[in-house]
Amino acid sequence: MRFHHTVLDNGLQVIAELNDQAHSVASGFFVKAGSRDEAPKVAGVSHFLEHMIFKGTPRRDALAVNRDFDRVGAKHNAQTSEEDTFYHVTCLPEYLPRAFDILSDILRPNLAEDDFDTEKKVIIEEIRMYLDSPMSVAYEAAKAAHFGGHPLGQSILGTVDSITAMKVEEMRAYFQKRYSPANIVLAFAGKSDWDQIVELAKSHCGSWTGGEATRNAVPPKGTGSFQALLRADDQQQTVIGVADAPPLESADRYAAQLLATVLGDHTGSRLYWSLIDPGYADGVDVSYQDYNQAGTFFTFLSCEPDETQANLARITEVYRAAMAGDLTEEELTQAKNKVLARSVLRSERPMGRLASLGFHWTYRREYVSVAHELEAFSKVTLDDLHRLCQQWPLLPMTVVSVGPTTDVHAPE
């Protein structure tokens, strides 16, 4: 593995982890633009803009974008989160110049009003589709409840009202501010040549203009509130709990990932044996999500409505025991084996490495190799998990219950 880094004159960060043993190459633009960067008036503009990026450029219409990717057998996609919009392509090394020509081209879109008006209908339908999903409703409500007025509580999709009212001029202004080269990291992973990559970046992105885009990343404090939302037609109860956790800037993120695995991995975890194996619930897990200056432990539960309160009590019992310090070396070792195996398997694909490379560089200006990541997880001790449970207690947590019963209260 060889790591390279340079900065173009316009501020665009370019990084690459090159591997001659790989059989493909992945490239991606990491734009520091997500729902936390949006004013309430334009809620959902980051995700809406992701759709618009593929609708045409001065050189290609939407059909040509997809056709040209297909012609070189490239796999392309994009995703928007609370903090970033990530555009990527994976292809055979010999087709990188042509694939990157398309990928970089769409990062400077037309943002035509006709396309905007058409895609607005698609976004609204997507929002309505998610409103039909109990898990999506619970997740959005839990984020909003936990973060309160903090921007991380805002919906990635926005609302029907915010999307309906949005003007194309507002999207263009947001694009000009957030899609400046100084607010973007361009990353490559896999089999390629660094000199070729630098030349591609300069020739396709060197003329981009725009200044710094700031983000006021104020650390939030979870509210610990409780909500029970009625969805009378649901067949099951969906519950999401949220507790504060280490931010992505913290070295404790490795311990947090392992703690979540011990407590709520989908197989062989404490919650699995306490709720799934006995048949009390059909779904329960814990995930750790790190954000810029923030972090969360998400607890997800799906069960029969009349088992909801008892299952919340069972989860609380598991968390209290962990906070009391009864985690074991055997559990930690098992969690490490799971996490390390998943990290290695993911890293065997250039696309798997690309996401890690780009996000680490975007927020920490740090190259984290696979070996470094494996070492960091391996060094976590049982004392680290016990300390984490004290510094970032799992209880009390924000809880949102969604389903056919509202006869649910906050776990005691």
Q: What is the DSSP string of 175-204?
A: HHHHSSGGGEEEEEEES--HHHHHHHHHHH
Model confidence pLDDT, tens digit, residues 385-409:
999 999 999 999 999 999 999 999 9
Residues 6+ apart with CB under 8 A from 29: 86, 87, 88, 103, 104, 107, 184, 185, 186
Find the helix packing angle between 382-391 and 253-264, rounded to 10°: 90
Residues designated catalytic: 50
pLDDT tens track, the chain, 412 positions: 899 999 999 999 999 999 999 999 999 999 999 999 999 999 999 999 999 999 999 999 999 999 999 999 999 999 999 999 999 999 999 999 999 999 999 999 999 999 999 999 999 999 999 999 999 999 999 999 999 999 999 999 999 999 999 999 999 999 999 999 999 999 999 999 999 999 999 999 999 999 888 888 899 999 999 999 999 999 999 999 999 999 999 999 999 999 999 999 999 999 999 999 999 999 999 999 999 999 999 999 999 999 999 999 999 999 999 999 999 999 999 999 999 999 999 999 999 999 999 999 999 999 999 999 999 999 999 999 999 999 999 999 999 999 999 999 998 7
User: Can you list the domains of the chain with their CATH numbers?
Assistant: 2-205 (3.30.830.10), 226-403 (3.30.830.10)
Cis peptide before 396 (omega within 30 of 0): yes
